[in-house]
Each structure stands twice: as structure tokens, then as C-alpha cells.
Amino acid sequence: MKLNISEKTGKTYVKELDKSEQKFLTNKRIGETIKLDTIGLAGYEAQIMGGSDSQGFPMRKSILGTKRKKTLLIKGVGYKKPQNGQKKRKSVRGNQLDTDIKQVNMKIIKNGKTKLEEIFKKEDKTEEKPAEQ
């Protein structure tokens, strides 16, 4: 699962989670505020803004549950309006996170002591080690 974490400056950071780290996100809903201490971002709190599943279907706040549903849309997430007054039936995900969700979008509500830029630079340096042959 990927977390897209955005801050007020407009920068977005991507954090890849493995199966053990995903457990704190299950059964959370769009709009909930969560603490990011469990994934190494001490002191940070973020609000879940949305996401998408493994096939690319977006999550929609107005749909309850975890399943994918075909709904008649007029505007909003998952719908591009070609003409005024036109409605279309589209598939969207519910507002609750589960194991099928592959991307979660969040915005920072409360900052920690260290800046996100410093935290993610440290992670990039550990990944960029050259392979010895």
C-alpha cells in the first residue's frame, strides 16, 4: 500500500507500507484523523482524504462500506462531466479502507518535531546504496 502524504506547502511524500504496517489503517474511513507514529512519523497526525483500489477505482466518501458499487453520478469523485445535466453510472469504492486499497491520500493536520523533508531524505539515502558486484 502507498501513502501519499501532503503538507500545507504543497509538497507530497510517498511512503510504501508493507503488510504489517497496513493493520493500523484497516477499517478507517475517509475524513478520519489518524496518528502516524506507527509508521515512523512521530508526532504527526493526518486526515484521510481518499484513495483507490488495485484496479484504479477511486474511493468515494458518500458510499458506505468497503465494496465497489456502481452508482449513478452527477458530479464529484470518479466522474468527469461532459455536459450539463448528464448523469452516468460509474463504479466507485466505498469510504472504508481494507486490504484491497492500494493507494491512500492524506493531508497533514498536526506536524511533528522533525520536518517531513528531513525524514524522507534519510529514507532515500538508505535506498540509494549502490549494489556491489
Confidence of residue 130 (pLDDT cuts 50, 70, 90): low
Inside any domain, residue 85: no
Domain count, the chain: 1
Inside any domain, residue 80: no
Using H for helix, E for strand and C for coil, what is the string for 27-41?
A: CCECCCEEECHHHCC
Task: Give the pLDDT confidence score for residue 105 in this predicted structure.
Answer: 95
Inside any domain, residue 84: no
Query: Whole domain around residue 122: which residue ranges?
Result: 2-63+96-127
Inside any domain, residue 101: yes
**88, three cell numbers:** 452516468
Buried b (16+ CB within 10 A) or exposed e, 36-66: beebebeebbbebebbbbeeebbbbbebeeb
**DSSP classification of residue 83:** S
Inside any domain, residue 74: no
Q: What is the pTM of this model?
A: 0.82
Inside any domain, residue 71: no
- For the chain, the average pLDDT equals 87
- The 10s digit of each residue's pLDDT in 78-118 is 888 778 888 889 999 999 999 899 999 999 999 988 888 88
Confidence of residue 12 (pLDDT cuts 50, 70, 90): very high
Inside any domain, residue 91: no
3-state DSSP helix/strand/coil percent for the chain, to nearest 5?
15, 35, 50
Inside any domain, residue 106: yes
**89, three cell numbers:** 453510472
Q: Is 51 in contact with 59 (CB distance < 8 Å)?
A: yes
- The 10s digit of each residue's pLDDT in 31-81 is 999 999 988 888 999 999 999 999 999 999 999 999 999 999 888 888 887
